[in-house]
Structure 1
Amino acid sequence: MAKRLDLNIFNSGVKVVKIGQLTKDIIDFLDLQCIPCDIVLWHDRLEYIEKHKSDFESEVDFYKHIELIPDIIENFDYIGKHPSDNSIQFIKRIDKYMLVGIRLKASGNLSLLSSYPITEEYLKKYIQSGTVWSYNEVKKNSNAK
């Protein structure tokens, strides 16, 4: 069962909600300088993400994909480390490839930066540039230890 984000939670005055966890396997694979921690979504980032609504076929399609952010983080198909903006990217194919960007920092919880669809062509460019790897590569690396 896919984990879902209840977007109505912010209507009740909640300001931040846990959407995932940065695990030791991911930290080791991406050679990050941090410890395992929670990944959170602040209520105001949801407003920022809404600027990507036009990248979807409909508003219903947009919300369907945004609600699946926790599942994208936990069950990613690809993961990457952005070469210049100090973030990591979780990518999963739902109806389209969805990228969830998470801001990195040395300590404390990590925050969602943005989430939006990417094309298969962009995904291939990321893989070819060596900034994105498949889930299988991460698992193979963690099993080798």
Structure 2
Amino acid sequence: MKPIAHISKKVIDALGLDITENTPIYLGESNIKHMKQRHSADYDEYGDVIADILNQPEYVGKNPKDDSIEYVREYKRTNDEFVKVAVRISLKGRYYARSLYVLSANRVRNFIRKGTLKDLTK
């Protein structure tokens, strides 16, 4: 399986992660199936830009509940929408894009204000 992205130094530094720079991120068939089942409309709209979000996020965060790395990017397709791709580590130590869905602009602004999401555009 070929990686679709790598964890950058900028993301590692922003979140204080203990991960080697350029650690690969994969997207397996089971991950795609999960995204389609849980958020099919969002996957239909944004499934084609998962690698772009992971390679060029505007915001990143660390979810304390499941330890996932959250990559967020704004798109102006039908509306101004923020799309999140969550990356989780597998039992075998590989990082996988696990979920994809749209976040409301208000929610993103609140996460940024609270410091939950770090702005990488500055």
Distance across 1 between alignment mates of 2:16 and 2:89:
12
More helix by share: 1
Contact 1:83 1:131 in 2 (8 A): no
> Structure 1: which 4+ aligned runs deviate by more than 2 Å?
none
User: TM-score scaled by structure 2?
Assistant: 0.83
1:79 is aligned, of 37, 57, 60, to 60
Structure 2 equivalent of residue 53 of structure 1 = 40
Query: Which entry has the higher C-alpha Rg, 1 or 2?
Result: 1
Contact 2:39 2:101 in 1 (8 A): yes
| Percentage of identical aligned residues | 23
Q: 1:18 to 1:102 in 2, by over 3 A?
A: same
Gaps of 5+ in 2: none
**CA-to-partner distance for each residue in 1:84-126, whole Å, 9 max, x for gaps?**
2201111111232100001147x84311120111100110121
Structure 1, unmatched stretches of 5+, are 1-15, 57-61, 138-145
Distance of 2:9 and 2:120 partners within structure 1: 14
TM-score w.r.t. the length of structure 1 is: 0.71
How do 1:1-145 and structure 2 match up within 5 A? 16-36=1-21, 37-50=23-36, 51-54=38-41, 56=42, 62-94=43-75, 95=77, 96-104=81-89, 108-137=93-122
How many pairs align? 116
Aligned-residue Cα RMSD (Å) equals 2.1
